[in-house]
A and B are shown apart, each in its own frame.
Chain A
Amino acid sequence: MIQVRGLKKRYGRTQVLSGLDFEVRPGEVFALLGPNGAGKTTTLRALLGLIRAEAQALSIAGLDPRRSPLEVRKRVGYVTGGMGLYERLTGREHLIFFGRFYDLAAEALEARIAELDRDFDLGEALFRPVLAMSSGMRQKILVARAFLHRPEVLLLDEPTAALDVFARRALLDRVEAEKRAGRAVLYSTHVLPEAEELADRVGFLYRGRLIFVGPLEEAKRRYGARTLEHAFIQAVREVEAGVA
Chain B
Amino acid sequence: MSPSLNVFWKELLSFFRDRRAVLNQIVLPVVLMPLFMFGPTYLVERLSTQAATEAHRVAVRNMPLGLKEELARVGLLAIPDPDPEAAVREGRADAGIVFFEGRVTVYLALAQGGMKAEVLKGRIEHALGRYKSSLVEARLLEAGLDPRVLEPFQLEFVDVSPPEAREAGFFGFLVPMMLLMFILTGAMPVVSDATAGEKERGTLEVLLAVPAPTGAILLGKAGAAMVAAVLSTASGVGGLVLGGWLLQTRSAALPDGGAETFSFRLGAEALFASLVTGVLFAAFAVGVMIFLGMLAKTYREAQTYMGFLYMVLVLPAVLLGMASSFLEPNPLLYLIPVAGPMMLLDGVLRAKASLLAYVLAWGSTLFYAAAALFLAALAFKREEVVFRN
Binding site for B on A (CB under 8 A): 11, 45, 48, 50-52, 70-71, 73-74, 76, 78, 80, 82-89, 93, 97-98, 100-102, 129, 145
Contacts and interface: CB of A to CB of B under 8 A. Distances in A.
Contacts, number: 71
Contact of A89 (B1, B13, B202, B213): B13
A70, A84, A86, A97, most chain B CB atoms within 10 A: A86
A222 B38 CA distance: 83
Contact of B202 (A48, A52, A84, A101): A84
Contacts of A51: 383, 387
A101 B205 CA distance: 15
Interface string B1-39: 101001001100110011000000000000000000000
B13 A70 contact: no
A145 B205 CA distance: 14
Given A100-B6, A145-B206, 20 more contacts: A11-B384, A52-B383, A70-B211, A73-B209, A82-B201, A82-B202, A82-B205, A84-B203, A84-B206, A85-B203, A87-B14, A88-B13, A93-B10, A97-B6, A100-B1, A101-B3, A101-B6, A101-B211, A101-B212, A102-B210
B208 interface: yes
Nearest to A130: B201
Contacts of B1: 100
A80 B9 CA distance: 24
Contacts of B6: 97, 100-101
B195 to A, nearest CB: 14
A88 B17 contact: yes
Contacts of A101: 3, 6, 210-212
B1, B210, B213, most chain A CB atoms within 10 A: B210
Interface of B: 1, 3, 6, 9-10, 13-14, 17-18, 201-203, 205-206, 208-213, 383-384, 386-387
A74 B211 contact: yes
B9, B17, B208, B209, most chain A CB atoms within 10 A: B209
A97 B10 contact: yes
6 contacts: A11-B384, A70-B211, A80-B202, A80-B205, A85-B201, A93-B10
B116 to A, nearest CB: 53
Contacts of B384: 11
B13, B18, B384, most chain A CB atoms within 10 A: B13
B212 A50 contact: no
B192 to A, nearest CB: 14
Contact of A45 (B14, B201, B202, B387): B387
Nearest to B1: A100
Contacts of B211: 70-71, 73-74, 101-102
B23 to A, nearest CB: 15
A80 B201 CA distance: 11
A88 B210 contact: no
Contacts of B3: 100-101
B3 to A, nearest CB: 6
Q: Nearest 8 pairs between A and B by C-beta?
A: A82-B202, A88-B17, A101-B210, A73-B211, A51-B383, A70-B211, A84-B202, A84-B206
Given A80-B202, A83-B201, A86-B203, A48 B209 contact: yes
Contact of A84 (B9, B13, B205, B213): B205
A78, A83, A87, A101, most chain B CB atoms within 10 A: A101
B383 A88 contact: no
A84 B197 CA distance: 11
Nearest to B210: A101
Given A50-B383, A51-B387, A98-B210, A86 B205 contact: no
A116 B9 CA distance: 23
Contacts of A71: 211
Nearest to B216: A101
Contacts of B10: 86, 89, 93, 97
Contacts of A73: 209-211
A34 B169 CA distance: 70
Nearest to A9: B383
A92 to B, nearest CB: 12
Nearest to B386: A50
A58 to B, nearest CB: 16
A105 B17 CA distance: 26
Contacts of A89: 10, 13-14
A145 B207 CA distance: 11
A78 B212 CA distance: 15
Contacts of A93: 10, 13
Given A86-B10, A97-B10, A101-B3, A78 B17 contact: no
A80 B206 contact: yes
Contacts of A145: 206
A50 B13 contact: no
A70 B213 CA distance: 7
A45 B387 CA distance: 10
A78 B209 contact: yes
A8 B212 CA distance: 25
B205 A88 contact: no
Contacts of B14: 86-89
B289 to A, nearest CB: 20
A87 B205 contact: no
Contact of B201 (A11, A84, A97): A84
A45 B204 CA distance: 13
A93 B16 CA distance: 14
A129 B17 contact: yes
